[in-house]
Amino acid sequence: MELEKLTALQLADKIKKHEVSVLDGVKEVFSKIEEKDGRIHAYLDTYKKEAYARAKEVEKGIEDGTYTGPLAGVPIAIKDNICVQGKPTTCASKILEGFVPQYQADVISRLEKAGMIIIGKTNMDEFAMGSTTETSAYGITRNPWNTEHVPGGSSGGSCAAVAAGEAYLALGSDTGGSIRQPSSYCGVTGMKPTYGTVSRYGLVAYASSLDQIGPIGKDVADCAALLEVIASHDPKDSTSIDRKDLDFSSEMTDKITGMKFGVPKEYLSEGISPEVKDAFMETLKVLTQMGAIVEFFSVKTMEYMIPAYYIIASAEASSNLERFDGVKYGYRAKEYDGLHDMYKRTRTEGFGEEVKRRIMLGSFVLSSGYYDAYYLKALRTKALIKKEFDQAFGKYDVLLAPAAPYTAPKIGESLKDPMAMYLGDIYTVAVNLCGLPGITVPCGKDSAGLPIGIQMIGDCFMERKILRAAHAYESVRGDFGTPEEGGKRA
């Protein structure tokens, strides 16, 4: 039996039917990690001993009825900006060297209650600042479809792990597309829920008003099932919403007849790769053949999305990262002269170039002379963008967009031009600025065999609609394949 080809739900079903054991699934994941991760580097840390012990405990819990959920017994990887009690959390940064949290994220507690097994922590862009997983202080992650290319970012380690069969499921965080864009690059399915649906308690903050934890899986059904596990109201998170409509798996139908899809025509103008555009247009044809109504409309605020996003995100990052100063925990410079010199040397040595760039930008726009001119203006622009999307959802059930303007670039290309890397987020940042849910589903490959993803965006709290649309499209598209079947072997 080829366990690596099973989805998370299929594996859990076989465990319940006693066709395989919980330990079999865990062993399969670690065998893939041992076989591939020396080249891909999806993980920063793995918990083999603990996972084997946990597998036996979960097996017993399934037998006695303690764990009855649809994902009981499934191994899962965690992005390394989500705290697991007693395990190092680095955010892929030198400045958190040696930091071991004495508490854990709410999502981790919920995974454990569901009978899932944590395999380890995945690599990421430092403090989630980047789009390629090349800014990690602990080395780059490579794309399993072609190891000369990036996996995207900042949740590149989580997406690469799922794509390579090194995890059945993974958690990532999405601040401006950090789940959806690497999901597109790696040919997996990734989802950003409505802001406030998943607790941010235990997530190391980048931009607090934009960050959201979300699921990454092999298909839409796996993402829906994992979202049901992690979504909840958490009194420890002041932005957490008490929702009653958390039954996402019930929307796994194949019928989208009569659903209205809107496509912002500005998203298909200059800058998009011809191959990405062709795959996107072909997907629109498929949806139309399935009985959906697809229409183009105009988004007038598109040119302001990237500036507004990077001003707001950098401002919040500047504030959030102020706490990392070498005093209480993490890295501290070995040589310094007095307290202020210790701050300066610690932060100079501890932060990478991209993080420093965003801290400086954020500090600038928050300074007294520029606060009104930049930060307040960006907040007003964010409100205008939200208003325009609200108007669009008055007409359409789901909005469609490419997940990225091009397929995964080669390693080293993006870091040469940070501005070009920022502009690559053009299709994803509005979802975070507006607090909307979005999902990326693989929809094709380019001439080099690299995956292309389509993004489906819903109105606030309308995860069901985008899950339904994504699942329906997926059922017609059929099996997308794996890197071994369609890419350059990892």
What residues are annotated to the active site? 79, 154, 178
Q: Do the Cβ atoms of 170 and 78 come closer than 8 Å?
A: yes
Angstrom distance (rounded) from CA 34 to CA 210 = 35
Estimate to the nearest angstrom the gap between the alpha carbon of 135 and the chain centroid.
16
Residue-wise DSSP of 315-381 = HHHHHHGGG-SSSSSS---SS-SSHHHHHHHHHHHHS-HHHHHHHHHHHHHHSTTTIIIIIIHHHHH
Estimate to the nearest angstrom the gap between the alpha carbon of 58 and the chain centroid.
27
Dihedral in degrees, nearest 10, Cα atoms 461, 463, 468, 473: 130
Under DSSP, is residue 117 helix (H, G, I), strand (E, B) or coil? strand
Dihedral in degrees, nearest 10, Cα atoms 356, 361, 363, 369: 150
Q: Do the Cβ atoms of 193 and 231 come closer than 8 Å?
A: yes
Tokens linked to 479: 């099996």
Whose structure tokens read 């790696």?
A: 186
In 3D, which of 214, 140, 201 has the Cα closest to residue 174? 214
What are the start-end ranges of the E strands in 218-334? 260-264, 293-297
CB atoms inside a 10 Å sphere around CB 100: 13
Residues 6+ apart with CB under 8 A from 369: none
Estimate to the nearest angstrom the gap between the alpha carbon of 423 and the chain centroid.
18
In 3D, which of 307, 302, 301, 316 has the Cα closest to residue 378? 307
Task: Name the strand (E) or helix (H) holding 62.
Answer: helix 48-64
In 3D, which of 331, 358, 345 has the Cα closest to residue 93? 331
Angstrom distance (rounded) from CA 192 to CA 231 = 12
Q: Do the Cβ atoms of 236 and 199 come closer than 8 Å?
A: yes
- Residue 69's φ and ψ, nearest 5 degrees, are -70, 165
Angstrom distance (rounded) from CA 368 to CA 126 = 28
Q: Do the Cβ atoms of 387 and 342 come closer than 8 Å?
A: no
Under DSSP, is residue 410 helix (H, G, I), strand (E, B) or coil? strand
